[in-house]
Amino acid sequence: PPLSQVPRLPALRARMASICRGSILSAAAAAGSAERCERVDALRCDIVARAAELRPMGGKRARMAKHKALVDLLKHLAALGLSFGSAAADPRQHAMADLFQVRAAPLDLARAAGRQSGSLVLLGERWRLAWRRGDELYYRALLKLTQLREARRRPHEDLSGREVQKAAGFVEHGFALLLRQREALQAAVEHCAALDARLERLANLSA
């Protein structure tokens, strides 16, 4: 920086650190993230529980109940903002090879959390474990996507073509969101690491 700005470096460093703590590591940010995760997890549990309840049932009434459950789910997914249109999918979803080539290198999450000790070191470790788990789930979701595409060719006779289109389209849109979230996390980790490096330089200059 210009020599005239050097005296301000300690204050700038403190300000940058405060902004990072408030927007990334604050209790409010963590609570908001946890709430969103809980809502998604609750929806998943409801779907699994309802499917397990309906699976052993047989007969005409059971078929009607299963069909209604599917229709209700499709309405709920649409209300959440998912789209079944082809434009909602990521262009990479057109070729399975492109999905397997999505960048999945291990992230330097400890570096992104900062080189400090104590709670931030533990935070970096939690991030690392969560990312590894998320990476495993990504490839499981990719497998399920291929199975869905195969099953779509021979749908159940109780389903209309429109319902099949909606169900498959919602899954494709959900997978597109997964791709974008992974890329957003990767970019955020790289930016946090770069910012931490700059803060370290500022700290050395102000020492």
Between CA 166 and CA 171 the distance in angstroms is 9
CA torsion sign, 86 to 50 to 143 to 108? positive
Mean pLDDT of the chain, nearest integer: 81
Summarised one tens digit per residue, pLDDT across range 24-71 is: 666 777 677 778 888 888 998 999 999 999 999 988 899 999 999 999
74-117 pLDDT, tens digit per residue, is: 999 999 899 999 899 888 888 777 777 666 556 666 666 555 55
pLDDT above 60 (res 1): no
Average pLDDT over residues 166-173: 94
Q: How many Å separate Cα 77 from the centre of its chain?
A: 16
Tell me the whole-structure pTM to 2 decimals: 0.72
